[in-house]
Amino acid sequence: MNSLNIKLYNLLKNNMHIPDDKAGEFVQTLDDLIRSNINDSAAEYKSFVKEDLLKLDSKIEILRSDLRSEIKESKIDTIKWMIGVFLALALMIIGLYIKK
């Protein structure tokens, strides 16, 4: 028994004149009920947290795939621009040689 249970036991036994066995049984039943409620609440909380984490996981995967596709598009655009600039530069160099 913890100190709170002992205080409740003594209160029931001494002040309310309840027999020892009944006071002990009452305190034990009350303690079991409280622990059961706490365990149920903890299990419910864990299930909510688990659901939220699974939702976050799916959102992260969606964002990750969106980011990958955007990176791929940016990469393709960069390559297109580099080819365009290279061709323009090559034409300018060829134009300079032809002009001479």
pTM: 0.48
| Domain membership of residue 28 as a residue range | 3-99
**Residues 49-87 pLDDT 10s:** 888 999 999 999 999 999 999 999 999 999 999 999 999
Q: Residue 19: its pLDDT value, please?
A: 74
Mean pLDDT score of the chain = 84
- Cα–Cα distance for residue pair 61/38, rounded to 1 Å: 34
Q: How many domains does the chain have?
A: 1
Residue 6's pLDDT is 67
Give long-range contacts, CB 8 A cutoff, 24+ apart: 48-55. Answer: none
Stated as kind and residue range, the H or E segment containing 62 is helix 20-99
pLDDT at 62: 96
pLDDT at 4 over 80: no
